[in-house]
A and B are shown apart, each in its own frame.
Chain A
Amino acid sequence: MIESLIAWILRAIPFGTIIMYGAMGEILTEKSGNLNLGVPGIMYLGGFAGFASSYYYEKLVPDPNGAVCVTLAIVCCLAASMLGGLIYSFLTITLRANQNVTGLALTIFGKGFANFFGAYILNGQSYTAAPLANSMFAHKIFPFADKAGVLGKTVFGYGFMVYAAIIMAIVMGIILSKTRVGLNLRAVGENPATADADAVSVNKYKYLATCIGAGISGLGGMYYVLDYNQGIWATTGQIEALGWLAVALVIFTTWKPVNAIWGAYLFGMFYWLYQFLPDIMGWKVASYVTDLIQMVPYVVTIIVLIVVSLRKKKENQPPESLGLSYFREDR
């Protein structure tokens, strides 16, 4: 039984890490007042760019170096997903296109782009792998992890991206609540007219938050392919579902990055509930029930959404100008 629990946690934490990146990026974006429904597309772009770059590096360079491979993957992932964010920003901020529609178009584009070129690389095979990148990403950074028993295994037994995500969430939380940049950014998302009157450059903040946010979301896609999915690019719809789950997680955290840490792991536990809970409890569950259990994260998110709107506590509401474009009219 305890083994099942450990196995469950070992599954849930990497899973949570994927959507934690996705959600953190989206939190940053939404803090600037942009509701980017292109997260799934961005995660596709990031995942694909990370995979493609390491795949070609491993294939074309005679003696590939692990560190170079990782750096290359991250840089390419950031570049591709930030480009996706830039398309979104240009359309919604400069050209004032509708945010929802633009985001959905970006999701279609990102999904198509990644899968098309993914299949292009696959070239007839059903999957292909980037083993070096995978081994680097999956490498447990704490050497004592395996010897430290249950705790070591469940807490220290992951690749660096898991810990980077936690650090990033904390840093982002500090930046948002304790720095001038964070204060200005929140003001832009809450009340751009006030921020504008106080000499905060609204468009600059929106562009930067959206593009950097897209970069962070993209890392989730890359982590999925190169670590979680063992360096295998497979043409499945999995990333899209993860992307929407990340959007759900943003609501669950009530737009606070630090909540994304435990929220993401909780979502991971929910997601794998169907496999491990029956084991632990000794139930025999029909497979269709497991399908039903998979809706738990979404149901929980809806409940959070309702409770937040019910309680009307200002701190937990979405940024006030979320989804609206800002136009200073002719002042």
Chain B
Amino acid sequence: MGNAIEIKNVTKTFGKTIANKNVTLNIHEGEILSLLGENGSGKTTLMNMLSGIYFPDSGAIFVGGKQVEIRSPKDAYELGIGMVHQHFKLVDVFNAVENIALGFDTKRFGSFNLKRVKARAEEICKKYGFDLNMDQKVYEMSVSQKQTLEIVKVLYRGADFLILDEPTAVLTPQETEKLFAVIRNMKSDGKSVIIITHKLKEVLEISDRVAILRKGEFVGDIATKDATESSLTEMMMGEKVELNIERSLPVNTMTRIEINNLSVTDREGVKILDNISFKIKSGEILGIAGISGNGQKELLESIAGLQKTKPGSSIKFFAGNEGEQEMQLIGMTPRMIRDAGIHLAFVPEDRLGMGLVGSMGMDGNMMLKTYDSGRSFVTDRKLPRIQAERIRKRLGVVTPSLSTPVSRLSGGNVQKVLVGRELASNPTVLMTAYAVRGLDINTSYTIYKLLNEEKQKGVAVVYVGEELDVLLELCDRIVVLCGGKVSGILDARNTTKEEVGLLMTSYRGEVQEQ
């Protein structure tokens, strides 16, 4: 087996972030290669440079021994490289054939003839065992059918190298099995398949070789037959890093929110949260670990009253005062929750698209949840200004003025404004989603410190995070989500990175809270 594609010393940066650093990786002919790594380890960026979406800052790519420049998806196709992205690029009102035929040029594919395209596409389906109705419209297709269509589209264009970006993330186990069967067929036909993934079980099941990326760098590769789940986890997670986050013991813990049998499905009917149950307690930081997109967003939004849940779900709030009734949060809007006197602070993942109004300044954003207090027709603008000024000083927000639109501030400052506002609301429960994503070290530590202060005040803190080191040092307990289910609830002081990592990547059956 020769090196069909060679990536040599490739580096790619976006602004100040380094997505890939000096990566050297070979892809052989006729192999199934797993590209393994945590979120943000640079897997997708690296593959996007093969498929013509990005162009490397430095380094070289060789295909068949010749150095090439891949400037567009078209260039990639001409080299026989095709990629199926996580977000499908399909036209909804077109049927399968039309989507396959889109963008062909006459030079390569001859004159326009949908019948011929259909016949050839069906031939491909038969050859590899795809199950696809060529006349079906994309908007009528299930996620797995759309994925099949994307793969057929890539094969139709003559790809010998297929890159699949987290292909199983959206599939049921049965569909996954079917996909693996076709991948094996493609391999036996001499094609190379690269699967970007972080599901260890699948890596071991399907691939011939595993290449691991961590923090943008190539860590190493290993033949799958020599690998085990724990050896892969270790390579993926790396050595434990001491962060020295101050952590106090939980004080005065009591159940604040009890979640029972919470289920959420998306618009296509795919289960995002599947019957999950756990408790959120005051005076502690509860970490939520999981590969991103495993239901974290929906979980927090369900609690905040922003997500439609399936019947049978229950989210109970306990005020904790003597004689006060528990409250069912399901069916309540954010306004109703607020009016019921529950101080629920929520730092959402989408800071400017949900948590803040980009065109408003700090002052305007301060009153997003309180603008309608009081009877006056006009908003009270004095208090928000005072509050904004206080947050600016306390958290060191860098902004030209309090009324400068927050969309013009840097990511770290935007987050400080959002977290600052939510903390100022004197919360009983504080939920944060990826609170330190994209922030520099100092800002991150500021946020950790703030969360700890809240915990000591007796607030129930929920921290959804992606960096395991942080979760292990910051949180008291960790709930691990995998495929929309709770795959484990761990004591953060007595667990290891490997344990969490394994639970994140493989579901091992129902977990009950002790």
The interface of chain A, by Cβ under 8 A from chain B, is: 178-180, 183-184, 186-187, 190-191, 193-195, 197-200, 314-315, 317, 320, 331
Contacts and interface: CB of A to CB of B under 8 A. Distances in A.
Contacts of B92: 190-191, 314, 320
A112 to B, nearest CB: 35
A191 B92 CA distance: 8
Interface string B105-119: 110000010100000
6 contacts: A187-B91, A191-B90, A191-B92, A314-B139, A315-B93, A320-B92
B93 A184 contact: no
A237 B432 CA distance: 60
A198 B137 contact: no
Nearest to A320: B92
A179 B112 contact: yes
A184 B137 contact: no
Contacts of B104: 180
A180 B73 contact: no
B16 to A, nearest CB: 15
Contacts of A320: 92-93
Interface stretch (B94-102, B351-359, B366-374): B94-102
A197 B73 contact: yes
Given A187-B94, A314-B93, A331 B54 contact: yes
Contacts of A195: 91, 102-103
Contacts of B53: 331
Contacts of B106: 180
Given A180-B112, A199-B103, A200-B102, A190 B91 contact: yes
Given A194-B89, A195-B91, A331-B54, 12 more contacts: A180-B106, A183-B98, A187-B102, A190-B92, A191-B89, A195-B103, A198-B89, A199-B73, A199-B105, A314-B93, A314-B139, A320-B92
Nearest to B138: A314
Contacts of B184: none
B74 interface: yes
A198 B103 CA distance: 5
A199 B91 contact: no
A183 B102 contact: yes
Interface of B: 53-54, 72-74, 89-94, 98, 101-106, 112, 114, 137, 139
B95 to A, nearest CB: 11
Q: Which 7 A-B pairs have the closest CB atoms?
A: A198-B103, A180-B112, A199-B74, A194-B89, A200-B103, A199-B103, A198-B102
A200 B72 CA distance: 11
A198 B54 CA distance: 15
Nearest to B77: A199
Contacts of A199: 72-74, 103, 105
A113 B104 CA distance: 42
A193 B103 contact: no
A257 to B, nearest CB: 16
Given A184-B103, A198-B73, A314-B137, A191 B54 contact: no
Contacts of A191: 89-92
B168 to A, nearest CB: 22
Contact of A180 (B93, B101, B137, B139): B101
Contacts of B90: 191, 194
Interface SS, B side? loop
B101 A183 contact: yes
A84 to B, nearest CB: 30
Contacts of A184: 102-103
B113 to A, nearest CB: 9
Contacts of A179: 112
A71 B165 CA distance: 57
Nearest to B97: A183
Contacts of A183: 94, 98, 101-102, 112
A169 to B, nearest CB: 21
Nearest to A319: B93
Contact of A194 (B91, B101, B137): B91
A226 B26 CA distance: 70
A131 B89 CA distance: 56
Nearest to B72: A199
Contacts of A187: 91, 94, 102-103
Contacts of B94: 183, 186-187, 190
B407 to A, nearest CB: 15
Contacts of A198: 73, 89, 102-103
Contacts of B139: 314
A194 B112 contact: no
Nearest to A179: B112
Contacts of A194: 89-91, 102
B102 A193 contact: no
A111 B137 CA distance: 43
A147 to B, nearest CB: 44
A194 B106 CA distance: 19
B83 to A, nearest CB: 10
A320 B72 CA distance: 25
A191 B94 CA distance: 11
Nearest to A181: B112
Contacts of B114: 178
B268 to A, nearest CB: 15
A63 to B, nearest CB: 47
B96 to A, nearest CB: 13
A197 B54 CA distance: 12
B284 to A, nearest CB: 41
Contacts of A317: 93
A320 B93 CA distance: 9
A197 B91 CA distance: 12
A190 to B, nearest CB: 5
A180 B109 CA distance: 11
B201 to A, nearest CB: 31
A286 to B, nearest CB: 47
Nearest to A200: B103
Contacts of B54: 331
A190 B93 contact: yes
A314 B53 CA distance: 29
B170 to A, nearest CB: 18
Contact of A186 (B89, B91, B112, B137): B91
Contacts of B72: 199
Nearest to B153: A198
Nearest to B85: A197
A313 to B, nearest CB: 10
Interface centre among B91, B98, B104 (most CB of A within 10 A): B91
Nearest to B111: A180
A38 to B, nearest CB: 26
A184 B103 CA distance: 6
A184 B106 CA distance: 13
A186 B54 CA distance: 26
Nearest to B93: A314
A314 B93 CA distance: 6
Nearest to B73: A197
A27 to B, nearest CB: 15
A194 B92 CA distance: 10
Contacts of B102: 183-184, 187, 194-195, 198, 200
Contacts of A314: 92-93, 137, 139
Contacts of B112: 178-180, 183
A187 B89 CA distance: 11
